[in-house]
Structure 1
Amino acid sequence: MSGDADVAVRIAGLNLHPVKSCGGIAVDEALVIETGFEFDRAWMVVDPQGRFVTQRELPRMALVRPTLRHADMLLRAPGMLALHLALDAVEAPAQATVWNDTVKAYDMGDLAAQWFSDFLGRPLRLVRFDPEQRRLADRRWTGPIEAETAFADGFPLLVASSAGLDELNTRLGQAGHDAVTMQRFRPNLVLDGLEANGEDHLDEIVFDTPDGAVRLKLVKPCARCSIPDVDPATAQTGHAVGDTLAAYRADARLDGAITFGMNAVIVEGVEAVLRIGQAGTASYRFD
């Protein structure tokens, strides 16, 4: 960790994951909204009881590839005809459960349900987050900030560093494993300019955009499950990533959980646009 009070950073990557736990989209710019980035984790696959499902139990979800267009989202998967979903249309009101939160949502209809059920091999439905619903991140970590989130696990944004991935890949290579991409970790923002895993020690990041300042507060390390060991290109599972991280990424703040990346909340900047290459200033936490 640097001893300087501030560090210059640059946005090296911006990613959206429109359907929770399905493939991501690398984008050149992202609109900041109350729940994070527009369209990020706005849709979710659920079982017949409305409970979320993820790559933890269905690794093939990684093979569902979204494309966002002007008026619709296109979903593709191996062996399937493309599914088109209008961005401005939903069907019946519904409820959905993500972790311990049951929230208002909209069912996306029988065609979408059949598409996911056919591809993933069990009865499933697709829902969209109700924008009138306020789902708040855990106040134990956000303090006075009421941070809204859609279907993300718990926080509006996830931040990771390019150097952190480089460090992991160095260690994977030393152990005889192939390098991995940042897709494994599903961050919204990837930053250049930090030391390896330097995001662990940041307090806030400020980006001065033409739309005004975007200020993000990093509040909680991101504990890792089995998903980083799912190959996003093939959906094959392994254990090299988890085993390698376990050797050096136990985090005392989470009772020794294995972490990679930091969850962030939006302090200001709703309706501003972040872009690849955007420069920012990050401040360190001194607690």
Structure 2
Amino acid sequence: MLSSLVEYASSWTGQNTDSDGAAEGTKEIGPMKVSQLFIHPIKSCRGTSVQQARFTSEGLEYDRKWAIIDAETRKVLTARDIPEMVLITPTIEPDPSSPDGGSLTISFPPSSDCAAFSTPLNPSPDMLERWAVLHGLKIWSHTTDGCLVPAPASDVLSAYTKRRVQLVYKGPAPRACDPTRAFPALQATVRYQDGYPLLLVSEEGLEEVGKVIGEWAGKEEGVKMGVGEKWREGKVGVERFRPNIVLKGSGVPFIEDALQEISLLPSKANQNPTAAPISLVAKCPRCLLPNVDPEDGTRDKAVPFKVLMKFRTGLDPENMRSPCFGCNGVPRGDGVVCVGDDVAVTKWLEE
């Protein structure tokens, strides 16, 4: 299926390719732009839509720089474990006059009766020396470290989650990314992201997912699967998939599947970008987390996971049974990305 998509995408031409003109019988890829940007300061908590963001080789600034862990097992917790985590709202409040660069304020739904609190946005080295460093924090098959954010952070979060948890800020030890089939010699590090610094999706891909969900909602088999009538219009918000960069304009559903490297071009929002290229190193296999509604914290029993299983498996040679949506990206340096930036394809995936 992937090779068919690559062949399909390569039969298109346009300003995002190296082609000088369209051959007979081909279609034109529309000009791609960055349509949305999201930062998720605390892993699995509510994301923030932004108009621009700096990035390094470890991802967007402040993205997944904090995490909530189980105080006993030191497992990094997500909405897979506690769906209500998506209702915790971290707000980035920069303050150039502050020695800590500002604050990260964490607030909760009014019904929780949990009081908001703040923690330094950029703790100084002297401050971090006073914070306990916890080792052996577990993310999938990896371990990493974290600096324990002082009170009242862990107490308030424990009251909200109804279990003993702790809030940690990424510690000093680098956490290596796994190599991938397309990048067997990959050398990259990451903070508390699941595996890679960035997640990119396309609006065309999201629209296709919604279309298929709507079709299943009208089928008897879909009803048996749990795709209820409320999904007939197929409206699935992109926030469920927790991306960093959303692309739009190619006209090709799941265009990201066929990309290996993209570059950001000057735009009205970003007149002179110095952004490094972004390598798309692997497909993103999906779990049940997108089934959690970011608006109310409830978990749907079918959407989108069971529907994705029907038409988005077999795309990743290393995860043939997992449905994929979106691609993991690794910036090859520093830069700034803005909503409205033009996106050029500098290398297509070869399979």
Normalised by the length of structure 1, the TM-score is: 0.94
Matches within 5 A, 1:69-218: 69-70=93-94, 71-78=102-109, 79=112, 80-89=114-123, 90=128, 91-95=131-135, 96-130=137-171, 132-141=172-181, 142-174=183-215, 175=217, 176=229, 177=231, 178-194=234-250, 195-209=252-266, 210-218=272-280
CA contact (8 A) 1:73 1:87 kept: yes
Residues 201 and 120 of structure 1, relative CA distance in 2, 3 Å threshold: same
- The DSSP-based 3-state class of the residue aligned with 2:169 is strand
Name the counterpart of 1:279. 342
**Hey, what's the Cα distance between the residues in 2 that align with 1:212 and 1:63?**
35
2:80 matches 1:56: yes
Q: CA deviation at 1:140?
A: 3.4
**Hey, what's the Cα distance between the residues in 2 that align with 1:30 and 1:88?**
16
- The DSSP-based 3-state class of the residue aligned with 2:155 is helix
Q: Which has the higher contact order (CA 8 A, sep 6+)?
A: 1
2:302 matches 1:250: no
Q: CA deviation at 1:30?
A: 1.0
CA contact (8 A) 2:240 2:292 kept: yes
Give 1 or 2 for the bigger CA radius of gyration. 2
Q: CA deviation at 1:179?
A: 1.2
Q: Which has a greater percent of strand?
A: 1
2:266 matches 1:266: no
Letter in 2 for 1:223: P
Q: Structure 2: where are the runs of 5+ without partners?
A: 1-7, 18-28, 95-101, 218-228, 267-271
- The DSSP-based 3-state class of the residue aligned with 2:236 is coil
Q: How many residues align?
A: 284
Normalised by the length of structure 2, the TM-score is: 0.77
Letter in 2 for 1:249: R
- The DSSP-based 3-state class of the residue aligned with 1:139 is coil
Name the counterpart of 1:224. 286
Identical-residue share of aligned pairs (%)? 28
**Hey, what's the Cα distance between the residues in 2 that align with 1:240 and 1:46?**
27
Runs of 4+ in 1 over 6 A off after TM superposition: none
Q: Structure 1: where are the runs of 5+ without partners?
A: none
Q: CA deviation at 1:82?
A: 1.2
- The DSSP-based 3-state class of the residue aligned with 1:118 is helix
- The DSSP-based 3-state class of the residue aligned with 1:243 is helix
